[in-house]
């Protein structure tokens, strides 16, 4: 196959491209420049898309022996990921920009351009596996549970399953990938992983939102409406947050308080006891279903994941209606916020993904 390999400048994508060549594919490398200010986009292991990363990607391509290009996708990234991130916080949600990036940049822009140029598939360094199932390709968890990235890939949609190559799906560990990079002389074997939000390289999310959304004094209240303190913008808080509340007085029982709700319409942050965070029913919208042969009926082996590296939660019942999804969990969980992605699994297989709209306790008759 003619394969377009996304080279981020890191070790994972470099080894993935080398493995794709080794598998007999005709590979071309491309680095997606996502920052309008690349020189200021990496701080240690934070961030990505810097000049350093582009140079590392180019050197990796040269060593592998494949053609290499740089595509400027900064405008698309700003509109699809950064602007959406800000607007989601404005709406009182907790977005996952990595999911958004995979949906609109890596598996829309990259795939569309690859097809237009005559490529059969794209190759990435994600830790997730493609399996030939009886009804076609299936997306599964990667072999290394500590690095599994199937959660952020679930949004790619069923049409992309046959047009993607994931060579690191069977990689036993990150140490193995680094050893492969060193063995192949790729020069990025010891490069630190990027983490946190790539377009906020200093890790100061509140500062980033303050620049975009400003400040507006609001009230911190208890569930019964008592005023407990003040804040400078509900967008600085997310469900489950404990730190940064700066309350003058403790709860009557001395227990810590957590954010249980933000109210954009009144600029209020509601705080309460930890048990108020527990939910059993999650309602979702904009569902993307990858498994046409498995509608999600029957709870055996069914689980849900609400964070990139969160533990899977057993599912008691799943109801689908168009792009809406209702998931009843077999056990309560905490810290579920609107805007997060929920991914449904059957064993290791990804069945689908949806955006969380609300989360509640189940009623007694549910």
Pair 264, 90: CB distance under 8 Å: yes
Nearest CA-CA partner of 320 in 347, 303, 340, 344:
344
Is residue 123 part of the annotated active site? The answer reads no
* CA atoms of 352 and 295, how far apart (whole Å): 9
98 a catalytic residue: no
Active-site residue identified among 48, 98, 198, 284: 198
- Give 250: exposed, middle or buried? Use CB within 10 Å, 0-12, 13-18, 19+: exposed
Q: How many C-beta atoms surround the C-beta of residue 164 within 10 A? A: 23
Alpha carbon distance 194, 48 (integer Å): 6
Question: How many angstroms separate the CA atoms of 151 and 191, rounded?
Answer: 24
Q: CA-to-CA distance for 279 and 293, rounded, in angstroms?
A: 29
Q: Which of 98, 101, 123, 284 is catalytic?
A: 101
Active-site residue set: 101, 198
């Amino acid at each position: 196959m003619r394969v377009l390999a996304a080279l981020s400048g890191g070790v994972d994508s470099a080894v993935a491209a080398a493995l794709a060549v080794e598998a007999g594919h005709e590979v071309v490398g491309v680095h997606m420049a996502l920052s309008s200010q690349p020189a200021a986009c990496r701080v240690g292991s934070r961030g990505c898309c810097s000049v350093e990363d582009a140079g590392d990607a180019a050197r990796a391509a040269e060593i592998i022996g494949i053609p290499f290009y740089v595509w400027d996708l900064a405008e698309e990234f700003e509109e699809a990921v950064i602007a959406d991130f800000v607007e989601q916080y404005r709406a009182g949600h907790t977005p996952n920009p990595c999911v958004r990036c995979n949906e609109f940049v890596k598996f829309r822009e990259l795939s569309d351009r690859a097809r237009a140029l005559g490529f059969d598939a794209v190759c990435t360094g994600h830790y997730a596996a493609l399996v030939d199932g009886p009804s076609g390709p299936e997306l599964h968890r990667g072999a290394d549970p500590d690095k599994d990235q199937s959660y952020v890939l679930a949004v790619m949609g069923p049409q992309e399953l046959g047009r993607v190559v994931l060579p690191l799906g069977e990689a036993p560990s990150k140490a193995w990938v680094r050893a492969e990079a060193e063995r192949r002389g790729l020069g990025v074997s010891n490069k630190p992983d990027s983490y946190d939000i790539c377009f906020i390289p200093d890790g100061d999310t509140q500062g980033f939102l303050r620049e975009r959304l400003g400040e507006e004094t609001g009230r911190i209240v208890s569930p019964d409406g008592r005023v407990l303190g003040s804040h400078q913008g509900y967008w600085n808080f997310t469900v489950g947050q404990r730190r940064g509340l700066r309350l003058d007085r403790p709860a009557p029982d001395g227990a810590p308080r957590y954010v249980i709700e933000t109210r954009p319409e009144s600029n209020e942050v509601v705080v309460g006891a930890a048990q108020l965070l527990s939910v059993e029913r999650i309602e979702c919208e904009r569902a993307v279903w990858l498994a046409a042969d498995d509608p999600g009926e029957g709870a055996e082996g069914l689980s849900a994941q609400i964070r990139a590296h969160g533990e899977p939660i057993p599912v008691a019942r799943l109801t689908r209606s168009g792009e809406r999804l209702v998931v009843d969990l077999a056990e309560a969980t905490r810290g579920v916020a609107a805007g997060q992605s929920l991914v449904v699994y059957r064993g290791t297989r990804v069945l689908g993904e949806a955006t969380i709209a609300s989360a509640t306790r189940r009623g007694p008759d549910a």
